[in-house]
């Protein structure tokens, strides 16, 4: 049972689970038959909570492992900023489903999908191969705590995203 709990808390598995959820929310935001505004609200909260938790609890810790690429970790944080900027541009479009909204959505999908792919191939593979299971579980618990704290604080609101992007 302890192994199951540890596996469920593995920071790599938790981050990957969020990535798959983001991809599903992209599908919903692209679908004219879905609640696109609702999907965007969920996506906004998840993207901000996820990114803030990675930067606060995970990235710094991973830099301490010699076989995890520090430049990729720093680049990951830069890509979070790009994703946040694209998110804000979409949130600022008032008419869901308009040409402007669809265009900003595609900009967001492109920025975030690039980051997810790169992070999975570099940072997360490095963490899986070089960070001991117990440490990954500790990082996973810290990641979840910060992620939940962010979600409880309405981190995906346009006001908060604006404050993150504009400093």
pTM above 0.85, yes or no: yes
The residues of the chain scoring below 70 in pLDDT are: 1-8, 66-67, 69
pLDDT for 165 equals 97
Name 21's Cβ contacts closer than 8 Å, sequence gap at least 6. 46
Q: What is the pLDDT of residue 4?
A: 43
């Amino acid at each position: 049972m302890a192994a199951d709990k540890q596996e469920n808390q593995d920071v790599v598995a938790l981050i990957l689970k969020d990535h798959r959820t983001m991809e599903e929310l992209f599908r919903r935001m692209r679908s004219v038959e879905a609640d696109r505004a609702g999907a965007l609200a969920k996506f906004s909260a998840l993207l901000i909570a996820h990114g803030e938790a990675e930067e606060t609890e995970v990235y710094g810790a991973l830099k301490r492992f010699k076989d995890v690429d520090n430049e990729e970790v720093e680049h990951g944080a830069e890509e979070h900023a790009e994703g946040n900027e694209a998110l804000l541009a979409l949130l600022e479009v008032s008419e869901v489903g308009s040409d402007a909204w669809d265009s900003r959505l595609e900009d967001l999908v492109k920025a975030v999908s690039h980051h997810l792919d790169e992070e999975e191939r570099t940072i997360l593979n490095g963490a899986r191969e070089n960070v001991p299971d117990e440490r990954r579980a500790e990082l996973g618990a810290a990641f979840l705590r910060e992620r939940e704290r962010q979600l409880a604080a309405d981190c995906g609101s346009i006001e908060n995203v604006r404050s993150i992007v504009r400093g």
